[in-house]
């Protein structure tokens, strides 16, 4: 199985690029984040014409996650157990940031971890709580083939960001955020892209502003965590840097892993 994750940053704006890449790359399952639409607004037809079925979770024009699969989709869930909600005022709302489905015998979770916004912002506490609750849930799935994939909004190593002084990424590099990211290893998971692509300054995201991409000023924040039964099937990984090029590109690129048959 070829499994990929991609923060597409608005699927309606990029459907042609995403479906074209799916077909060119021969990808079996794609987890998408930041689709920025409700299910009824998702451009299904292009995916279905290419042979993919869809699971979609979106509540408004923000956030949103989806999974496209040509190897089946069953047992769809739109949140993980005890997933926290967020609201600066009023009752917390469980946002569209997690979507689970079984595809080709693998339990895939498409995840869009909260950004955090600022160290004094309640969104940062929300981010840490989201990661902690996800880790607790993931520990209960560790004995089955499970993939936790998506935009984690954490740069785990100093070499995963062009500058740790980047004012836009203060919540991505704190000891607390990095510890929350690495805690998945203690829960029995292995991060597959790092296993095959350990190189320093290998990024998955470049902001649109200030010519970040041509300057090489990016971050590595998109990852694939796999439970032990799934990690042992991994044979390779790719970060598709070229998808950041050209007109209409997302600010993230796909991360792809290759999995041998069970």
pLDDT at position 78, please? 98
pLDDT at position 199, please? 87
Evaluate the CA torsion angle 106, 101, 253, 20 in order and state its sign. Answer: positive
Q: Which tens digits make up the pLDDT trace of 31-57? A: 999 999 999 999 999 999 999 999 999
Mean pLDDT of 1-22: 98
Q: Residue 244 — pLDDT band, cuts 50, 70, 90? A: very high
Ordered by start, the domain boundaries in the chain are 2-259
CA distances from 2 to 31, 69, 102, 130, 175 (A): 11, 10, 14, 27, 33
Q: Is the pLDDT of residue 190 over 90?
A: yes
Q: Which tens digits make up the pLDDT trace of 110-138? A: 999 999 999 999 999 999 999 999 999 99
pLDDT at position 89, please? 86
Please state whether 186 falls in left (phi above 0), alpha (psi between -120 and 50) or beta: alpha
Closest CA to 171 of 214, 114, 249, 222: 114
- To 5 degrees, how large is the angle CA 130–CA 144–CA 261? 120
Computed over every residue of the chain, the mean pLDDT equals 97
pLDDT at position 12, please? 98
Strand ranges across the sheet with 2-7 = 53-57, 65-69, 29-33, 2-7, 255-259, 234-239
Integer Cα distance of 222 and 193 in angstroms? 9
Give domain 2-259's CATH architecture: 4-Layer Sandwich (3.60)
């Amino acid at each position: 199985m070829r499994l990929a994750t991609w923060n597409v940053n608005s699927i309606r704006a990029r459907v042609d690029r995403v479906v074209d890449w799916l077909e060119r790359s021969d990808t079996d399952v794609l987890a998408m984040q930041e689709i920025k639409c409700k299910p009824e607004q998702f451009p299904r037809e292009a995916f279905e014409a290419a042979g993919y079925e869809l699971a979609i979770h979106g509540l408004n024009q923000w956030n949103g996650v989806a999974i496209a699969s040509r190897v089946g989709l069953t047992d769809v869930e739109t949140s993980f157990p005890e997933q926290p909600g967020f609201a600066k005022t009023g009752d917390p709302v469980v946002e569209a940031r997690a979507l689970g489905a079984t595809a080709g015998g693998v339990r895939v979770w498409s995840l869009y971890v909260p950004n955090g916004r600022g160290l004094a912002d309640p969104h940062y506490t929300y981010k840490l709580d989201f990661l902690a609750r996800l880790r607790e849930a993931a520990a209960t799935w560790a004995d089955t083939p499970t993939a936790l994939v998506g935009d984690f909004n954490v740069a785990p190593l100093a070499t995963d960001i062009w500058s740790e002084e980047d004012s836009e990424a203060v919540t991505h590099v704190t000891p607390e955020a990095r510890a929350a990211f690495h805690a998945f290893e203690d829960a029995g998971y292995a991060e597959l892209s790092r296993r095959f692509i350990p190189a320093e300054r290998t990024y998955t995201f470049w902001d649109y502003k200030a010519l970040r991409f041509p300057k090489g000023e990016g971050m590595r924040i998109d990852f694939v965590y796999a439970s032990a039964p799934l990690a042992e099937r991994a044979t390779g990984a790719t970060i598709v840097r070229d998808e950041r090029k050209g007109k209409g590109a997302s600010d993230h690129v796909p991360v792809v892993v290759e999995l041998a048959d069970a």
